[in-house]
Amino acid sequence: MLKFCQKGFTIIYTFIHTIHIFSVFIYGGFLFVDVLFLSKMNQTLSSEEHAKAREAIMMHVRKVVPYALMVAVASGLFLFSQVFGKIEDGSLSYFQILLAIKAFFGLWLGLRGINQKLFKINPWVFKSHFFPFSLVVIIILLSQFMYL
């Protein structure tokens, strides 16, 4: 019976992890495209064309990306609770430190996104997507260094 429970939990964990990865790809992918490509459209389009083209894209983005961020944060919290582990000898391990930093950045992005989408509170600082994009890149790098 215990093996069945462990196998069932492994399937659930893998499913949530897969959802987390896809939602992060959606959110991070949008930031990547926005920072590296969409923000450069004004170099080849007039300001009126740029505004029209950007809004044409953003009206579709607003339907998907904020919810992908919320799913990424919720699934990330679950994954964090499963892999953080016990604090031994009164200090955090290298893995736990990097995971905590990663979680902090993810929660900051999530709080920012939830404030914007659900409560219509726009950020006072970091109004462009460059800072969130930078945090996503840092989170990706941290996830690679966590297992060293």
pLDDT along the chain (148 residues), means of 10: 65 94 96 91 90 91 94 96 90 94 95 86 75 94 90
CA distance 18 to 70: 15
CA dist 48 → 36, 39, 54, 111, 127 (Å): 20, 14, 10, 32, 21
The pLDDT, as a whole number, for residue 5 is 63
pLDDT at 140: 93
Per-residue pLDDT at 1: 43
Long-range contacts: 32-40, Cβ < 8 Å, 24+?
32/133, 34/129, 34/133, 35/128, 35/129, 35/130, 35/133, 39/128, 39/129
> What is the pLDDT at residue 141?
95
pLDDT on residue 100: 96
